Amino acid sequence: MRHEYKKIALMVLVMISAELCLYMAPRLPYRRLQVPSQTQPTIDGLAPSICLQDVHGHWHNLKDLHGDTVVIVFFCGCKACQQVNERLVSMKRQHSSVAILGITAMSPADAREYVVRHNLNFTVLLDPFSRVSTLWSSSRCPSCWIVDPTEKLKYGSLPGESVSSILTTIGIYLSS
């Protein structure tokens, strides 16, 4: 019984700490999200920045992939997202020089479990408050983007676009 009280007290403390962080973050100048003046990503425009932690706690920055073709997929884990991710796994095997970044709002534990369960062979980044997905206008899933080696956007899936259309377009681009 006493163990349960400690567990509940710890959960309350964590929730209060999280609320305090959310309350204080906008008030701290070094924690503010820098949003560029460009409100929506545009094809042939520069890709918005991405700097997120992966499921293992390592930081990744899109700028570090300058010179590589990058496929970015925003996903939640639904059936459509699973179909896209399964196909991206095989595309990664065929095109090993292409970088693939998966971005999800899942909790770190759920994302790690998803990576293992679906044998993902690409980096999965955590976007816990969906700030990056909002910046990329990718609140609907699955949402896919292709960034060329000069960091320009070459493709962005449309809201409601079919999984087969998304995968066909990515496949054609990677094969060209």
pLDDT over 50 (residue 20): no
Q: Which domain holds residue 167?
A: 37-175
Sheet holding 143-147, edge to edge: 59-61, 51-54, 123-126, 99-104, 70-75, 143-147, 153-156
The pTM score is 0.77
Asked if 11 and 51 sit in the same domain, the reply is no
Asked if 150 and 93 sit in the same domain, the reply is yes
Say what the pLDDT of residue 13 is: 43
Say what the pLDDT of residue 139 is: 84
Say what the pLDDT of residue 39 is: 57
Say what the pLDDT of residue 27 is: 43
What whole-number distance in Å separates Cα of residue 176 and Cα of residue 172?
6
Into how many domains does the chain fold?
Answer: 2
pLDDT over 80 (residue 38): no
Report pLDDT digits (tens) over 90-127. 999 999 999 999 999 999 999 999 999 999 999 999 99
> DSSP class of residue 171?
H
Say what the pLDDT of residue 176 is: 86
